[in-house]
Amino acid sequence: MQQKTDKTNPSKKILITAFECLSTRGYANVSMRNIAEEAGVALSQLTYYYKNKEKLFLEVINMMILQYLHEIETNLESATDKKEKFASLARFFKELIRDKPKLLKLFIDFIAQALWIPSFRKQLDSLFSDLTEIIERDLLLDTKTSKRYLGYSPKTVAKLILGALLGTSIQIILGSDRDNAFESLNLAESLLN
């Protein structure tokens, strides 16, 4: 998410600054005034582009969602077989934790806010549906895999895989055992194969 701010596009500059503020301090600890100050714009200019904090956060989340979906699809498309696709999906979450913890923290904050803010809930549900569909399409829709999970639809299995990887990633980023942090994701990868 390290993008250069464009001085000629205040809207984009505000959005990138908002991402940095929100991913560093969290939704509850950032005000519109904080973002305006850090972006070097007047508060009135910020509210011109983004009416309120919720709308700004939704735009930051849209930016984040596009990045998540693009990266996951790219990783899966580069894999040649199912085993490699499962490995690339687990690797995506490992890289997210290791290389992009701000992005993961912002996503976790988004999940928490979605419990209380209907517009966030709708957007999160859409993201989970898209991710489930990608996993189902790229990893589970073949005869051999379908037989393995007899009695459960590929969509149900895809939801379980997503929940396991995301939940494990949340535990890792919140945990203090950094030495063994990735063992549970390694186990999830081996169980999926």
Same domain, 120 and 35: no
| Residue 57 belongs to some domain of the structure | no
Range of the structural domain that residue 151 is part of: 63-192
Amino acid at 134: I
* SS3 of residue 41 by DSSP: coil
Whether residue 80 is found in the same domain as residue 148: yes
Q: Which of 58, 76, 65 is nearest to 141 (CA)?
A: 76
Residue 93 · residue 165 · CB < 8 Å: yes
Q: How far is Cα 67 from Cα 69, in angstroms, rounded to an integer?
A: 6
Q: Are residues 116 and 83 part of one domain?
A: yes
Residue written as tokens 């908002």? 18
Same domain for 76 and 102, yes or no, is yes
Give per-residue pLDDT as tens, 76-116. 888 888 888 888 888 888 888 888 888 888 889 999 999 99
Residue 17 carries which side chain, given as an amino acid letter? Answer: T
Who's near 78: CB < 8 A, 6+ residues apart? 88
CATH number at residue 2: 1.10.10.60
Pair 43, 80 in one domain = no
Q: What is the pLDDT of residue 18?
A: 93
Instruction: Show pLDDT as tens, one digit a residue, over the chain (193 residues).
Output: 445 544 558 889 999 999 999 989 988 999 999 999 999 999 999 999 999 998 999 999 888 888 888 888 888 888 888 888 888 888 888 888 888 888 888 889 999 999 999 988 999 999 999 999 998 888 876 656 556 667 888 889 899 999 999 998 888 888 876 667 788 888 877 777 6
Measured between alpha carbons, how far is 122 from 126 in angstroms, rounded to an integer? 6
Same domain, 164 and 117: yes
> What is the tens place of the pLDDT at every residue in 79-88?
888 888 888 8
